[in-house]
Amino acid sequence: MERLQKIIAQSGFCSRRKAEEYIQKGLVTVNGQKVTQLGLKFNYDDQIMIDGHCLENKEEKEYYLLYKPRGVVTTVSDEFNRPKVVDFIPTKTRIYPVGRLDYDTTGLLLLTNDGELTNILTHPSNKIEKIYTAKVKGIISSEEFMKIKKGLKIDNRLVKVTYLKIKKIDKVKETTTISIGIMEGRNHIVKRLFKSLNHEVLKLKRETLAFLNLQGLKSGEYRSLSIKEVKKLYALK
Ligand code: URA
């Protein structure tokens, strides 16, 4: 179930704000019933009509896996005119990123116009593992390693760590490179986790999302997902 204006916007028909306008003006019906109240939730396969247009004429779904470079924003528009993740994918379809990576974070990012799949992949109840490589300031001690592994609380909520491995310790530069797997998508969560132990994250890269990885791609490159991969992502629900 999802809010009606979100289903409409995610179908590519119009923006969410415009969808709200259509709803409030009484131009939207769901399964033949007029809906004028904002915030009501429906299913993606409900029959939605907007001003005589059937939302069944949905755009073809597109699915891309991008190796996001550093210095790129994970949005579809940016007020400061910085490079955006959508600039890397030449499509006329209104695609958007699934979740977000920080401006200075690199690595695996999915982009699609499939709202239903986006919801599956970003909903906290569907535990989707993401593995990151983080280069942090300072040497991570074995006590700190165990603390992270057992689970630290950020904003009073435990960050469950599914995978943790030290990859490199640079004693001269005093940095640690560590792989960390987590099943959540709170903003800046990896940086905040290490910050809570006084280790600033200097570099961060998302290596995997569920069974997907960056194999075969260089920074800035992308590929389409196969139907098999899309089905496998749906099955994570
Ligand atoms: N955690 C972060 O701190 N930043 C990201 O970009 C992704 C996860």
Please tell me if the CB atom of residue 101 comes closer than 6 angstroms to any atom of ligand 1.
yes
2-54 with 63-124+212-234: one CATH topology?
A: no
Ligand 1 centre to CA of 185 (Å) is 8
Into which CATH architecture does domain 2-54 fall? Roll (3.10)
How many secondary structure helices (H) and strands (E) does the chain include?
6, 17
CA nearest neighbour of 197 among 225, 164, 162: 164
In this prediction, the residues of the chain whose per-residue pLDDT falls under 50 are 57
Domain 63-124+212-234 has CATH 3.30.360.10: no
Helix (H) or strand (E) holding 110: strand 106-112
What pLDDT, on a 0 to 100 scale, did the predictor assign at position 60?
81
Give the CATH fold of the 129-209 domain. Pseudouridine synthase (3.30.2350)
pTM flag (> 0.75): yes
pLDDT tens digits for range 59-87: 688 999 999 999 999 998 889 999 999 99
Please tell me if the CB atom of residue 204 comes closer than 6 angstroms to any atom of ligand 1.
yes
What pLDDT, on a 0 to 100 scale, did the predictor assign at position 58?
59
> Domains of the chain: which residue ranges?
2-54, 63-124+212-234, 129-209
**By alpha-carbon position, which residue is closest to atom 2 of ligand 1?**
188
Q: Is 102 a catalytic residue?
A: yes
Helices (H), the chain: 4-10, 16-24, 115-122, 142-150, 189-195, 227-234
pLDDT tens digits for range 123-153: 888 889 999 999 999 999 999 999 999 999 9
